[in-house]
Amino acid sequence: MSSSNFPKEKFRWGMLLSDTRYRGTSLQVITFIIFVAVFFWLVDNTLKNLALMGKDVSFNFLGMRAGYDINQRLISYTNDSTHARAALVGILNTLVVAFFGCVIATIVGVLAGILRLSKNWIVAKLMSIYIEGFRNIPVLLWIVMIFALFTEFTPAPKAFKGDDPQASMLLFDSVAITNRGTYLPIPIMGEGAYWLLICLSLSIISAFYFVRYSRKVKKDTGKGFPTFWISICIIAIPCIIAFFVFGKPISFGYPYLKGFNFKDGLHLRNSLLALTLALAFYTSAFIAEIVRSGILAISKGQTEAASALGLRPNKIMNLIILPQALRVIVPPMISQYLNLTKNSSLAIAVGYMDVRGTLGGITLNQTGRELESMLLLMGFYLSVSLLISSVINYFNRSFQIVGR
């Protein structure tokens, strides 16, 4: 009798649930059937509801005339433009808030995170108050509060009028903060400005190559150049020369008071400023905590070992602590950027026209295309988020500690 003669087990239906060999598969089949059933139920309901309301699913509305105005826009847009154009204006507005919000949040957050670890008691406590205050109060409240700060506590443009004005412009009469928004000088491109831009980009590229070269020299010989200062010179000197050679092609248009309002200059509306700053400060509190925990995660032994090797404190920070801390800091920081971008949809609270305000707001209400608008809106946010998570994944893959 050979050992291959196992007793033949008879298959029973009960084994589908009780036998671990089959249970996984049968569970999956059941789940899949339920999932498909629910999906079709939802689709069926939607079709029935649409039929009842006499609607259909069509994206033709995107090509129709929008008929509403958007006061803050980056690209040309009138109320004769299409809904698709309005959505694009909204998307750009969202991205503007997201970009500047992320930049400010990173700067403030990193500073606050480092200062919270400061040995200076009063600074550390102040930063704790800042961080805990922003973290524990809803961002919506911060947005409306900062908006109120801008609209209620800044002077009206007419306060700048007269020989003895109640309010004055800042920074040599170039910046005016009013309750209708902030006016900044705007760069005006004259003839030859493009040559200047080309010159600038060329010198940045050459500075980039110089940095690579100096790193290589440093690696090979151990001796380097003062890289930072030389690359500053490489960027600045040709640009300054070109600026005068081409006859000062870039000038600034300063805002000035005319009638009851400021003319010229770059007009930043209060809604944009309040939204950006509120989101930036709110997110900076989270970034500060990420930075702090990232620095604390590097064990003290690393610092001590580095100083035992004779490295100076700034070298220890740059070569030992930061590269390790960044590995901990960067992924959650990027997901905070994602949160900021998603939170920018609260723009509606201050009347800033982001993509939710145009596509998911006025367009939706005017055309009555709830389903299509929401699908497009969610598609936009989803693609942004997938893009950002793929960046995180790429970072994690390329910077993870190589196991021994």
Partner 1 sequence: MTKIAYVREKGIPPSPPPLTEVGIIRWVRQNLFSSWFNGILTLFSLYFIILILADFIPWAWGGHWQTKSLRECLDLDPNVACFSVLTARWKQLLFGLYPAEEYWRPTLTFILLLLSIVPILVPKYLKFFWFSAIYPGLAIWLLWGGSFWSVAIVYIGLIFGFATYVILSSKFLKTTSMALSASIVLTVLFYLFFSSLLVRFLSFLLPINLPFVDSLQLGGFTLSIVVGVSGIVASFPIGILLALGRQSNLPVIKMICVGFIEFIRGVPLITLLFVASVLLNYFLPPGTNFDIVLRVVIMVTLFSAAYMAEVIRGGLAGLPLGQHEASASLGLTYWQSQRLVIMPQALKISIPGIVNTFIGLFKDTTLVSIISLRDPVGLASTIRADSKWNGIYWELYIAIGLMFFVFCFGMSQYSQYLERKLKTDN
Residue 48 burial (CB count, 10 A): 10
374 binds partner 1 (CB under 8 A): yes
If the CB atoms of residues 272 and 384 are measured against partner 1, the closer one turns out to be 384
Binding mask 50-79 for partner 1 (x = CB under 8 A): x-x---------------------------
Among 168, 299, 382, 399, binds partner 1 (CB under 8 A): 382
Check residue 19 for interaction with partner 1 (CB under 8 A). no
Give, as ranges, the residues between 96 and 135 that touch partner 1 (CB under 8 A): 118-123, 126, 132-133, 135
Minimum CB distance to partner 1 smaller for 225 or for 395: 395
Residue of 86, 91, 112, 139 that binds partner 1 (CB under 8 A): 139
| CA nearest neighbour of 175 among 262, 273, 280, 72 | 262
Contact 89, 75 (CB under 8 A): yes
Distance of alpha carbon 377 from alpha carbon 348, whole angstroms: 14
Site string for partner 1, 220-259 (x = CB under 8 A): ----------------------------------------
Q: What is the rounded CA–CA span in Å between residue 300 and residue 309?
A: 14
385 in contact with partner 1 (CB under 8 A): yes
Rounded Cα distance, 128 and 292, in Å: 11
User: What stretch of H or E contains 151?
Assistant: helix 139-152
- CA–CA separation, 150 vs 181, rounded Å? 8
**Cα four-point dihedral sign 57, 61, 62, 68:** negative
CA distance 7 to 1: 12
Backbone φ and ψ for 155, nearest 5 degrees, come out as: -70, 150
Can residue 299 be called a binding residue for partner 1 (CB under 8 A)? no
Closest contact distance (angstroms) between CB of 235 and partner 1 is 29
Contacting residues toward partner 1, per CB under 8 A: 14, 17-18, 24, 27-28, 31-32, 35, 42, 45-46, 48-50, 52, 118-123, 126, 132-133, 135-141, 144-145, 148, 152, 342-343, 345-346, 348-349, 356, 360, 370-371, 374, 377-378, 381-382, 384-386, 389
